[in-house]
Amino acid sequence: MSRFNHGVLLFNGQAGQDSEEEALSLVVPVIATHCHKLTIVQTLSPDEFKQACMDASYADVLFIMGGDGTLHTAVQVLEKIENLPIIGLLPGGTCNDFARTLDIPPFLKEAAETIVTGVVQDVDLAQINDGLFMNFAGIGLIADASENINPNLKEKYGKLSYFMSALQTFSQSEPFSIHLEIDGTTYNEEAVMLLVMNGKSIGTHRFPLDIIDPSDGQLDVVLIQSSTMAAIREWFSLNQPDIMPDDLKNVTHYTGKHIVIRTDEPKKVDTDGEIYLETPVEITVKPKSVRFLVPNKNN
């Protein structure tokens, strides 16, 4: 007997026919054996993709094949779906950071095989002004690096282009003033980058702070005070169990459920790799809003 009655496989068909056919050939045979019915939907624009998500409310599982940008597009409408299906994330982008957060394998066939036999995890969302994000929101270096990515390099080098842009941007970064309010407490900071994290991965790299949990009902706020080698060393020391974030001089860590970010001059905000907002922004965690299929670690 199939695990799911009706599944929908949704993908954005802008990547090119050859890559689409190859991707479908990897995942469809796997997920079809676990669905009594499987509907495959291809869209050609973000608006069409959002509508297809809304139209999938009849399904009990919605497989989304794509990268972080595709997931970010879907997230904008998921809360509006009255009977939201379980989400099966199939990583088909450049970085696939939220799939990494959920420990979903980075290869499509393996990812499909893993999630169809996986377990369901309730995952938080974050509202930012009138929109939503799944993985992170950031200002400063992170937004500058995203904007500086050369599209030709991204096509040629893939995820390496993110590191090339980040290295160039890091060397040019100057601290700026940030006025923070976290759960009613005010902080005035100077930093080259601020991140509000729900997920654990950015640019394919695991975030060096093991306590980040996308299901804990809280968001993690991390500030990098300077673009020095000392700051880089402290950043990568965060994953060491004997390092306490409160003892660091160049990295500051907070947690909270409601966060307001203001800057003296408007700063562009990167949400899940997409840049269309500017400060000030107000961010609120929405606990356990979406159910995802994740690997069963007992297998």
251 with 171, same domain: the answer is yes
Closest of 271, 291, 241 to residue 132, by C-alpha: 271
58 located within any domain: yes
75 with 176, same domain: the answer is no
Catalytic amino acids?
274
85 with 139, same domain: the answer is no
Residue 144's CATH number:
2.60.200.40
- Which backbone phi and psi does 152 adopt, to 5 degrees? -65, -40
Query: What domain range includes position 89?
Result: 4-117
297 located within any domain: no
Q: pTM here?
A: 0.88
Distance of alpha carbon 41 from alpha carbon 10, whole angstroms: 5
DSSP code of residue 80: T
Domain final residue pick, 66, 94, 117: 117
Spatial CB neighbours of 223, under 8 Å, sequence gap ≥ 6: 178, 189, 191, 193, 194, 195, 251, 252, 253
User: Would you state the structure tokens that stand for residue 247, as one six-digit string?
Assistant: 């003892």
168 with 277, same domain: the answer is yes
Chain mean position to CA 116: 21
pLDDT digit of tens for each residue in the chain (299 aa)? 789 999 999 998 864 445 888 999 999 999 999 999 999 999 999 999 999 999 999 999 999 999 999 999 999 999 889 889 999 999 998 889 999 999 999 999 999 999 999 999 999 999 999 999 999 999 998 887 665 555 554 444 444 444 444 545 555 678 999 999 999 999 999 999 999 999 999 877 777 777 899 999 999 999 988 766 666 666 666 666 666 666 666 788 899 999 999 999 999 999 998 999 999 999 999 999 999 999 998 76
Closest of 117, 282, 104 to residue 201, by C-alpha: 104
299 located within any domain: no
How many domains does one find in the chain? Answer: 2
